[in-house]
Structure 1
């Protein structure tokens, strides 16, 4: 699952450029956030990452295996996360960044009610407040 295509839109130190050991890659990912697996009944299809920007801000990230792309997993994942936070009466801001070369991910966040916060040459930051 941890292929160069899957990690291409991640921060530079998490991009896979060769035959990386998946456990070491996952450990680097877990150093910066809580990592949850995303599974369908048969297999691992992706990861959800949640980091704390502050006490009232969550930094959202997700990535999916290539065979899962375009199948609605990201939209379902983000909707489920937001529903979970609402059920817990969590109040705060959820922020997600998207690189310019990944418009499908930006579409997921916009569809989920996120708004554009800022844009730079490398990508766009989105946020959603008060679930």
Structure 2
């Protein structure tokens, strides 16, 4: 990968979405306080119900700032905005794995505010993410886990060309999907 981080590199637009660095949000006029308030809004109980404890009950500015700090330490994360109104509606989390032959595997997760569910934005987002990965030229696969009862996310992954890669036997009800890119290894 280039010398810039995934977070710095991961920016793209789709028909209705703009994806880019969360830190750029703060630099472009959204204060840290406004960003923390948006985190609280997005991380509703329905959005986080299948996620680990550190993702639950984010209801105060302090909790939101701690959550942001933890995400920054463990992953590269970017914001998802509705382009028409320039409003943050979710996040994508990217995790780099070791590279073989200069090609990388990425793990990812994403969250969308429940108020935008059912509008096709998940499919649009993941389609855009796939196109971004292809354009990078050094990513050989991208994979993510989903709860087996999260039919909407499963449909998004299958509709955009992902296939089942593994089932997590340690954690019942979790399945992993993967998208392989053509690389010249």
TM-score (norm 1): 0.88
Of Structure 1 and Structure 2, which has the larger fraction of its residues in strand?
1
Give 1:35 deviation, angstroms.
0.6
- Asked if 1:77 is matched to 2:125, the reply is yes
Deviation (angstroms), 1:28: 1.9
Aligned residues: 130
TM-score (norm 2): 0.64
Secondary structure of the structure 2 residue equivalent to 1:92: strand
Q: 1:28 aligns with which of 55, 59, 70?
A: 70
The CA RMSD over aligned residues, in Å, is: 1.7
Q: CA deviation at 1:18?
A: 5.8
Other-structure match for 2:20: none
Contact 2:106 2:139 survives alignment (8 Å): no
Q: Deviations over 1:68-88 (max 9, x none)?
A: 111111111111111112122
Residue 138 of structure 2 aligns to a residue in which SS? coil
Gaps of 5+ in 2: 1-41
Larger radius of gyration: 2
For 2:69 and 2:163, how far apart are their aligned partners in 1? Answer: 31
Q: Unaligned 5+ residue runs, structure 1? A: none
